[in-house]
Amino acid sequence: MDIALHYAKKLDNQDILNRYRDEFYLLPDIMYMDGNSLGLLSKRAELSLLSILDSWKKYGIDGWTQGEHPWYYFSETLSEMCAPLVGAMKEEVMITGSTTTNLHQLVASFYRPEGKRTKILVDELNFPSDLYAISSQLLLHGYNPEEHMKFVKSRDGNTLIEEDIIESMTDDIALIVLPSVLYRSGQILNLKALTKAAHERNIIIGFDLCHSIGSIPHYVDDWNVDFAFWCNYKHLNGGPGAVGGLFVNRKHFGQKPGLAGWFGSHKEKQFDLETEMSPAPDAGAYQIGTPNILSAAPLYGSLQMFAEVGIEAIREKSLKLTDYMMYLIKEELRDFHFKIANPVDHEERGGHIYLVHEEAARICKALKEHQVIPDFRSPNGIRLAPVALYNSFEDVWNTVQILKKIMTEETYKKYENKRDVVA
């Protein structure tokens, strides 16, 4: 590799995905490195939203059954488009709810404490919203979360050791919920090995795919994962507050959902409005309320691009982008006490870089002033996510050069070293 700008431009010229940059509304003169928090708007996502709005304008309530994308079946349409990204059958996927409401649904459905198996195994590095939901589910069952939520500890504060997770799968565990990619460090967990270990111990296991879907390939059906859930506004560019998604392994079809709602009914019986629910025979049963059609609409346009490109090509470019960024950081920032805290090996690294620095909050504010959008993670982390569909190698080069300028001139020192209200 080379630290010169011409090398970055050479990589862009060789990049077969570079043409997709024109599909997005890139922010003028800004290096957007926060696609793992909120992806940018694409022109196709905009068109699909406008199309759904137009069907509302044209058809009124008949939009549920008329138009190019009848709303009554829109979730199933999106589910079929999304299924290849998680490596599942279309019947096992449902675009519905949000990350946390879907987690509530899945824990309510699969957490069945019995005898001494009463605990839920989680990790101490997981996104807090997952822990809030699991804690509240334990309380609903009459259990004290401090005693019945068991944490896998991190040895370094950034990553987890697979053996430590498996050792924690003791005979008092009723359910396991873990992330596929750790949201801070970007570490990929071995879902196949962890699922196998859990099932050998007769434990149900599910995964939060929020920081992996749209960034790395998954094969949850082949891996025999019991369930999974995710958001669609990060790497999948579905827009702020986009409808989430869930996966339920087909081996669990026929089990009643823990939280019943009318849109989880069998499609042909939904409007019968009987007092007893007839659940859908597939993952559709885990829907609760009426689909948020306008919040789902942009995802249709976004998923079209993923179908064209393929997740393997996206993963290949993502690794090249983060490899290049780490190379530049090591070469250009060696004197400024940054620590690359994400895994380096391709098999263990997700779609973003995680830098640790004692002045992280100040540095993030300075980066924003210099037209780079990073993501601060308390207490001292900087996440940088060059996204395959719209970021370039030149974006990466510019980001590191700006970071070098900030550190050399110490312009970060004019800021207070604490996060803003929204990190």
Binding residues: 99-100, 127-130, 208, 211, 233, 262, 290
How many C-beta atoms lie closer than 10 Å to residue 95's C-beta?
Answer: 30
Q: Which residues of 296-333 are buried (b: 16+ CB within 10 A; e: fewer)?
A: bbbbbbbbbbbeebebeebbebbbbbbbbbbebbeebb
3-state secondary structure the chain: CCCCHHHHHHHHHHCCCHHHHHHECCCCCCEECECCCCCCCEHHHHHHHHHHHHHHHHHHHHHHCCCCCCHHHHHHHHHHHHHHHHCCCHHHEEECCCHHHHHHHHHHHHCCCECCECEEEEECCCCHHHHHHHHHHHHHCCCCHHHHEEEECCCCCCCCCHHHHHHCCCCCEEEEEEECECCCCCEECCHHHHHHHHHHCCCEEEEECCCCCCCCCCCCCCCCCCEEEECCCCCCCCCCCCCCEEEECHHHCCCCCCCCCHHHECCCCHHHCCCCCCECCCHHHHCCCCCCHHHHHHHHHHHHHHHHHCHHHHHHHHHHHHHHHHHHHHHHCCCCCCEECCCCCHHHECCCEEEECCCHHHHHHHHHHCCEECEEECCCEEEEECCCCCCCHHHHHHHHHHHHHHHHHCHHHHCCCCCCCCC
Looking at this protein, which amino acid is placed at residue 127? F
Nearest to 192, CA basis, from 219, 172, 153, 210? 219
Q: How far apart are CA 197 and CA 189, in angstroms?
A: 13
Q: Provide the annotated binding site for pyridoxal 5'-phosphate.
A: 99-100, 127-130, 208, 211, 233, 262, 290
